[in-house]
Structure 1
Amino acid sequence: MAVFKAYMRIAKKNMWMILMYLGIFLGITVMFQHFAGNETAQYTAQSVPVGIIDGDREEAAESLIRYIGRTNEIVYLEDDREALQENLFYRNVEYIVRIPENFMEKCILGDEKLEVTTVPGTYSGSYVEQQISNFINLARCYGAAGFTEREISEAMAARETAKVEMLDVNGSGGSYPAYAFYYRYLPYLFLCVLCYVMGYILMGFRRGSLPARMAASAVPARRQSMEGLLAAGVIAIVLWGFCSMISIVFYNEDFLGSGKVTWYLLNSFVMLLSALALSYLVGSLVKTSNALSGIVNILSLGMCFACGVFVEMDLLSSSVKRAAQFLPVYWYETANEILMDYGEIPGDIRNRLAGAIGIQLVFAAAFVCVTLAVAKKRQRSS
C-alpha cells in the first residue's frame, strides 16, 4: 500500500489548506444565512410623510386626506414657499399635495390635476401618486353615477382594504430552511479542497525520477492505480462525511425532520464525484503550484458565480444560464433549488430532481474519460 500511504501523506501535509477552505465555507454560509434571515417574508405598506395644503376644507378634500392617511403619515402645512422647501430639504415630508378650492368640481368632476411636489430621485413620490390616482378614479366613477360630494366621501370611507391570503402551493411555507443555504455553497468547498489536494498529489507523483522508479517497481501499474483511486476516494468520502455530519449537527431536527435528507445527501455526494473527477483532470494537466492555484480559483469561483452558488439563479441572465448548463454545478444547484422550493417531492418533481442529479453523473463520467485520454497521451509521449 505504498502508493496509498503516499497519497495520504501528501494530503496530510495540505491539511492546513483544507481547514482554511472549510473555515471560508462556514463563514460564507453563516454570513448569507444572516442576510437571508433579515429578509422579511411579509409585505407591509410603506408609510410616507405626506404634506397637505388644504385650500378646500370640504368633504371631498377631507375624504382624500383620510384615504392617503390610511397608509401614510399626514402633515398639515401652511402655504408658505420657504417653509415648504425647508420641510422637503430636511425630509419632514417627502411629498406635498396642494388641494385647491372647489376640489370636487375641479378635480373630480373636472379634469384639473392636483398640484404636487416631491423629493427628486425617491420612489415614495410614485407610491403616493398612485394612491391619489386611485382615489380620483374611484371618486370620478361615483360622481359619474350621480353621487353627491357627501355620498362620495361616505363611499370612499366605507371601502375596505383588500385582504390577501398567501397560498402555500409548494408546501415550503414561503421561506427557505437554513440548511438549504448550507448545501447551496457546498460545491465551492468540494471544488477548492479536492482540486488543490489532488493537484498537489498528482504533481508530486510526476516529480523528478519518481515516475520512472514507479514504472520499474515490482508493484504492478494496475495496483498502483487502484491504490491511488482508493486513496482519492477515501479523501473525498471523509470530506463529504465531515460536511454531512456538520449539517446534521448544526441543523439537527429541522434537517432530519424535513423528509429530504436522502435527497440532499445524494445530491451532494454526486456533486462530490463530479468535483473529484474534475480534480483528477486538473491534477493531470497542471505542472506548477502557481498554475494549480490559478486554475482552481478560476474554476471554483467561476462556476460558483455562474451556476447559482453565490448569485441566485433568478438573478442570472438567460445567456449566463444557457452557458452554465454545460457545467455540473449548475445541475447541482438546480436540484438544490427544487429541494428548497418544495416541502414535499411529488412524482413529476422527483423526475426533475433525479434528472438533475443524473446529469451530474454524466459530467463525472465525462471528466474521467478526458482524464484517461490525457493520461494515455502522456504515456505514449513518454
Structure 2
Amino acid sequence: MQVYKAFFKIILKNLSQIMIYVVVFVSLAMALGSIGNKSVTVDFTETKVKTVFINYDEDSKLVEGLKIYLSKNSDMKDIPDETKKLQDALFFREAEYIVKVPKGFTENLLSGKEVSLDKTTVPGSTSEIYMDSMINKYLNTAKLYKNTMEDLSPEQLIANIEKDLGEQTAVELKTSADESANNEKRAFYFNYMAYSIYAVLILGVCSVMIVFNNTDLRKRNHCSPVKLKDMNFQLILANLSFAVLTWFIMVLASLIMYGDYMFTSRGLLLLLNSFIFTFAALSISFLIGNIIHSKGAMSAAANVVSLGTCFISGVFVPQALLGKTVLKIASFTPNYWYVKSNNAIANMSNFNMENLTPIFFNMIIVLGFAVAILAITLVVIKQNRMAK
C-alpha cells in the first residue's frame, strides 16, 4: 500500500493549511451551539366575557341555575335595564354580551317547547360565539334530562346539570417553538459544513494530485514494480478514506453538541445527507486536482469554488432570500440540493413517505452530481495521459 501511505504523507505535510478550515468550522459550530435560544413561552389564559344578565321571567330554579353557571364562566356586570345605558356599556366595552331571559321561559322549557334567549352583543366578536356555546350547552343539557327523565323536579334537574357541566378536563398546552428553533440551528450547522468540506477536500486532494501528476514522478511510477491498476486502486481508496475521515471530524462536533438528537430520525437524515454530499465534494475536488498544476492555483480554487457555490446555494444566505435567477444557477451545483434537503429535514413535522420522498430525491441528485463529475474527471485524466 505504498501509494496509500504516500497519499497521507502528503496530506500531513499540508495539514497546517487544511486544519485552518477545520478549526474555524468546529469553533464556529461550538460557538453556535453554546448560544442559547430565547425561550418562547406561550401561555393560555382563560378570559371571561363581560356579561349582563337580565331576567324577565319568574325567579325559578332553572333561571337561577343558568345565571350561576354563566357567572362561573364570565364576568357578570350589574348595569341597569335601560336601553341607553346598555348601549353605552356595549360601545365602551363595559359589557360584551347582554342576555335577556324572556317571560315564560321556564314554563316553555319544562313543557318541552322550543325556547330562546334574547341577546345583544358586540358585532363580530369572539365573545358572542363563546357565550352562545355556553348557553346552548346549558339549555341542551336541560332538554336532554327533561326529555329522558320527565319526573325530575326542578331541584334535581339543576343538580344534574351542574354536575355534568362542572366536569373539567386538564389541558396541557405544548409548543414546538423552541424545538423548531433548535432544528433550524442544527440545519445551519450542516449547511455551513458544506463550505468546510469543500475547502478541506479541495486542498487535501489537490495537494496530493499535484504531486502525483508531476511529469517526472509519473514516469518514475510507471517504471516501478507496482502495477498502474493497483496504483489507481490505492489512490482511489486513499481519496475515499480521506473524504470519510474529513466527514467524521466535521460531524463529531455535532455528536458532542447535540448528543442523542443525532440518533433520531431527523438527526440520522442530516448525517446521511452530509455523507452523500461529501462524495459529491470529493468528485469535484478530484476534478480540480487533475486540472490545476500549482499550489497557488490550489488555494485559489479552494476559495473560489467553496465560497462561490456556497454563497449562491443558500449555505450563508437562506435560499428563501435568494432570487429565482440565482437559485436556478445554484441548482447546477450539488450544494443547492444538499441545503434544500437540510432545510426540508429541519422543517419536517411528520416522517412519512410523502415528506421523505423529496428529500431522498434530492440525495439521488447529489449522488448523480458525484457520478457525473467523476466521469468527466476520468475523461480529463485520459486526455492528460494522451497529451503527455
TM superposition score category, shorter chain reference: 0.5 to 0.7
Using the TM superposition, give the Cα deviation of residue 374 of structure 1 relative to its aligned residue in structure 2, in angstroms: 0.6
Structure 1 residues 154 and 236: alpha-carbon distance in aligned structure 2, compared to 1, 3 A threshold: closer
348-357 or 238-247: bigger deviation: 238-247
Q: Name the amino acid aligned to 2:282.
A: L
For residues 89-114 of structure 1, the C-alpha deviation after alignment (integer angstroms, 9 at most, x for no partner) is xxxxxxxxxxxxxxxxxxxxxxxxxx
Give the secondary-structure state (helix, strand or coil) at the position aligned to 2:181: coil
| Contact persistence 1:195–1:279 (CA under 8 A) | yes
CA–CA distance in structure 2, aligned partners of residues 156 and 172 of structure 1: 38
Match of 2:219 in 1: 212
Structure 1 residues 242 and 27: alpha-carbon distance in aligned structure 2, compared to 1, 3 A threshold: closer
Number of matched pairs: 278
Give the secondary-structure state (helix, strand or coil) at the position aligned to 1:287: coil
Match of 1:194 in 2: 201
Match of 1:17 in 2: 17
| Contact persistence 1:306–1:320 (CA under 8 A) | yes
Using the TM superposition, give the Cα deviation of residue 27 of structure 1 relative to its aligned residue in structure 2, in angstroms: 3.1
Q: Name the amino acid aligned to 1:349.
A: N
| Contact persistence 1:183–1:264 (CA under 8 A) | yes
| Contact persistence 1:307–1:324 (CA under 8 A) | yes
Q: Alpha carbon RMSD of aligned pairs, Å?
A: 3.2
Tell me the TM-score normalised to structure 2 length. Answer: 0.64
CA–CA distance in structure 1, aligned partners of residues 257 and 306 of structure 2: 25
Using the TM superposition, give the Cα deviation of residue 155 of structure 1 relative to its aligned residue in structure 2, in angstroms: 5.9
Give the secondary-structure state (helix, strand or coil) at the position aligned to 2:261: helix
The alignment-based identity, stated in percent, is 26
Match of 1:335 in 2: 341
Using the TM superposition, give the Cα deviation of residue 40 of structure 1 relative to its aligned residue in structure 2, in angstroms: 6.8
CA–CA distance in structure 2, aligned partners of residues 151 and 261 of structure 1: 55
| Contact persistence 1:172–1:341 (CA under 8 A) | no
| Contact persistence 1:202–1:283 (CA under 8 A) | yes
Give the secondary-structure state (helix, strand or coil) at the position aligned to 2:93: helix
Give the secondary-structure state (helix, strand or coil) at the position aligned to 2:251: helix
Structure 1 residues 13 and 349: alpha-carbon distance in aligned structure 2, compared to 1, 3 A threshold: same
Match of 2:279 in 1: 273
CA–CA distance in structure 2, aligned partners of residues 38 and 266 of structure 1: 26
Using the TM superposition, give the Cα deviation of residue 34 of structure 1 relative to its aligned residue in structure 2, in angstroms: 6.3
| Contact persistence 2:40–2:178 (CA under 8 A) | no
Say which of 236, 251, 265 aligns to 1:244. 251
Structure 1 residues 310 and 32: alpha-carbon distance in aligned structure 2, compared to 1, 3 A threshold: farther
Structure 1 residues 284 and 17: alpha-carbon distance in aligned structure 2, compared to 1, 3 A threshold: same
Q: Name the amino acid aligned to 1:152.
A: F
1:275-294 aligned within 5 A: 275-294=281-300
CA–CA distance in structure 2, aligned partners of residues 289 and 214 of structure 1: 22
Match of 1:154 in 2: 93
Structure 1 residues 161 and 314: alpha-carbon distance in aligned structure 2, compared to 1, 3 A threshold: farther
Using the TM superposition, give the Cα deviation of residue 208 of structure 1 relative to its aligned residue in structure 2, in angstroms: 5.0
For residues 316-356 of structure 1, the C-alpha deviation after alignment (integer angstroms, 9 at most, x for no partner) is 11111111111001111111111100144211111111100
Structure 1 residues 33 and 249: alpha-carbon distance in aligned structure 2, compared to 1, 3 A threshold: closer
CA–CA distance in structure 2, aligned partners of residues 5 and 303 of structure 1: 32
What 5-or-longer segments of structure 2 have no aligned partner? 44-85, 98-121, 128-172
Structure 1 residues 10 and 349: alpha-carbon distance in aligned structure 2, compared to 1, 3 A threshold: same
Say which of 189, 199, 204 aligns to 1:182. 189
Q: Name the amino acid aligned to 2:356.
A: R
| Contact persistence 2:29–2:253 (CA under 8 A) | no
CA–CA distance in structure 2, aligned partners of residues 223 and 249 of structure 1: 38
CA–CA distance in structure 1, aligned partners of residues 180 and 238 of structure 2: 43
Match of 2:315 in 1: 309
CA–CA distance in structure 2, aligned partners of residues 15 and 305 of structure 1: 26
For residues 158-189 of structure 1, the C-alpha deviation after alignment (integer angstroms, 9 at most, x for no partner) is 87899xxx998x99954333433321211111
For residues 186-207 of structure 1, the C-alpha deviation after alignment (integer angstroms, 9 at most, x for no partner) is 1111100000011110001123
Give the secondary-structure state (helix, strand or coil) at the position aligned to 1:358: helix
CA–CA distance in structure 1, aligned partners of residues 225 and 200 of structure 2: 32
Q: Name the amino acid aligned to 1:277.
A: S
Larger Rg: 2
Q: Name the amino acid aligned to 2:91.
A: I
Give the secondary-structure state (helix, strand or coil) at the position aligned to 2:92: helix
